[in-house]
Amino acid sequence: MPDAQAFINNLPIVFERLVFAAILVAVTVFLLWFFGKIYRKYTRTERGLIKERRTWASVLYSFIRFLIVLVAFLILLNIFGVNITGAIAGLGIAAAAAALAVQDLLKDLIMGITIITDKFFAVGDVVEYNGITGRIISITMRSTKMEILSDQSTLTIQNHNISEIKVLSHRTNILVPLPYDLPAEEAEKILQTIAERSCTLDFVEDCSFMGTQSFDDSSVSYMLALYCDPYIIPDTRRSILRIIQEELEKAHVEIPFRQLDIHSK
């Protein structure tokens, strides 16, 4: 019965450790929730933040979460009598031995640092990666998350896989084909009106008439320069095409279609 008696004698100690462990878990969960709430509020209300600041906020939040979990884990080991110093030393030796097995992880960390320091892109940028267009929503030391434009799904990319990525410009060009028999002065007047109406659309930063772009087979192409968030360019472009149709109808100008003239003797 000595073992049973020893177990009974140790019950208060076991209970005390379990209580401390429960408190530690509760505090850890609260800290994760608290910092998560601050991060979400900061990024949601500060839309005008410089992209670089938003990127660093994302990385800092990721690091804080990792640090909280690591410290909580080490304290939990200490509560249950594990030698933390020995455990850390053991982890260091294991990490050195397993370095070859975690090459991708090391590459992720190195590339994550490079992305941030060299400013490849930032949180909020609209990018094109492997033919996929989307907005960068978070950057951590290991991965980058992108919201895909076509269906608003989320794509997670390991940082070591990012060798080339294209940050899209806020400018896109819209070509307007008009008939050859329309005087240039009248065409310019119509297109100026279209540009002015386009500027009144939500989220359009600017729209300008740039002039004649090319002389095509059946029409003269004029260029409008549209400036807006690249993420909403497709929807905004459709709205502007509608304005073009309406203004051309008001001016009784038909959009030319491709024609082929055949001359024979």
Q: Residue 152's domain spans which residues? A: 113-167
Domain containing 245 — which CATH number? 3.30.70.100
Task: Say what the pLDDT of residue 243 is.
Answer: 94
Structurally, how many domains does the chain consist of? 3
Give the integer Cα–Cα distance in Å for 222 and 176. 5
Nearest partner of 219 among 172, 185, 175, 263, judged by Cα: 175
**Of the candidates 13, 79, 65, the residue with the CA atom closest to the CA atom of residue 36:** 65
181: exposed, middle or buried (Cβ count in 10 Å: 0-12, 13-18, 19+): exposed
Block means of pLDDT (10 residues each) for the chain, length 265 residues?
A: 50 64 77 73 54 63 74 74 61 54 68 77 86 86 85 88 85 92 92 93 91 90 92 89 93 81 70
CATH no. for residue 155? Answer: 2.30.30.60
Q: For residue 163, is it within any domain?
A: yes
Q: Do both 59 and 44 map to the same domain?
A: yes
Domain C-terminal end among 43, 65, 97? 97
Please tell me the predicted confidence (pLDDT) of residue 177. Answer: 92
Alpha helices, DSSP H, located in the chain:
2-45, 51-79, 84-97, 103-117, 184-198, 233-250
At residue 188, the pLDDT reads 93
Amino acid at 152: Q
Residue 137 shares a structural domain with residue 219: no
Asked if residue 103 belongs to a domain, the reply is no
Is residue 33 situated within a structural domain?
yes
Domain boundary among 37, 66, 97: 97
Same domain, 158 and 179: no
Question: 263 in a domain, yes or no?
Answer: no
- Is the same domain home to 193 and 210? yes
Tell me, yes or no, whether 159 and 196 share the same domain.
no
Same domain, 11 and 47: yes
Whether 159 and 245 share a structural domain: no
Residue 257 lies in a domain: no
Answer with the one of 47, 64, 97 that is the final residue of a domain. 97
Shared domain for 158 and 181, answered yes or no, is no
Cα separation of 79 and 94, whole Å? 23
Residues 14, 82: one domain? yes
